[in-house]
Amino acid sequence: MKLSRPLVSLMGVFALALLFILLVANSGLGLTGGCVGIVRVSGDMSYEKAGIFGGGGVTAQEISDQIAKANGDENVKAIFIEINSGGGSAAAGKEIYDAIAASEKPTVAYLEEMAASGGYYAASATDYIIANPNAITGNIGARMEIVNYEGLFEKLGISTETIKRGEMKDIGNPARNMTPEERALLQQIIDESYMNFRQDLEEGRKGKLTAEYEKSKDARILSPRMALGMGLIDEIANRERALNKTRELGGVEGTEICDMAPPKTWANVLSELGASIGSGIAASASNGGAQLNYK
């Protein structure tokens, strides 16, 4: 069957039009008013994915990648960072803070149910912070927990022996009490990490903190109204107001939202399951599981 020239020409025009529509859709050029890029910081902040058995959470790399993606997308005019986290790894919190602080585009944090410790740390890197009226925030501090089984081992008649070179090589060993020298060393590390947190927070909130801010230095949790009085947040409102503020700062026309998170695949789920099992085995094999946390 031979097609007529007009029909072939019409099919060619249709194909070109379809190709153009697909290119526009994939590039974001169709959103003439731009969009707000959404980044979620939810659950524990860590370096390694906790997995579906470990409660999920986010990694520093995931958030850094999403911020970079938003900065590299011409259609994204501002970044809306939703936070529902009680913190996590101090090192991961620092990297998330740095990634947000280095953003080339306006950033707004919305504190949902909880944005405490490392969760607030991430928020303090943004240009503007809005908290849900019933959010919990504050808890600005650093901590390390070490389990001690010495008393239990004595009752059970269990003993352990550690062969080491270096007086503090097994610091945090759960089978024995900590020495005063070891405690002093760990306290020094905690104090240094705490000061790093405070310095970054104060840089992020420069010119906004009030005299009431001093009360937060005992790491107390805070209501949004308390945090507002200390200058730790800028406003108390709902999510829609926070989105509108983000649109305002980015000059976004309309209500378009661009999700910066990659779509979930079965490969992601299986990878998370493997990471969860692996992290559980590693934790049970460790000599105390000490980790420096902002949580």
Contact 85, 62 (CB under 8 A): no
CA distances to 53, 73, 116, 258 from 88, in Å: 17, 29, 10, 27
The one catalytic residue in 9, 169, 217, 286 is 169
How far apart, in whole angstroms, are the C-alpha atoms of residue 76 and residue 137? 28
> Could you tell me the two tokens for 16?
């070109």
How far apart, in whole angstroms, are the C-alpha atoms of residue 42 and residue 85? 5
Residue 245 bears catalytic tag: no
Contact 118, 45 (CB under 8 A): yes
For 50, other C-beta atoms within 10 Å of its C-beta total 20
The one catalytic residue in 85, 89, 103, 117 is 117
CA distances to 46, 102, 106, 127 from 252, in Å: 32, 21, 11, 16
Helix count and strand count (H, E) for the chain: 9, 12
How far apart, in whole angstroms, are the C-alpha atoms of residue 154 and residue 144? 25
- Residue 82: phi and psi, rounded to 5, are -85, 125
Residue 117 bears catalytic tag: yes
Catalytic residues: 117, 169
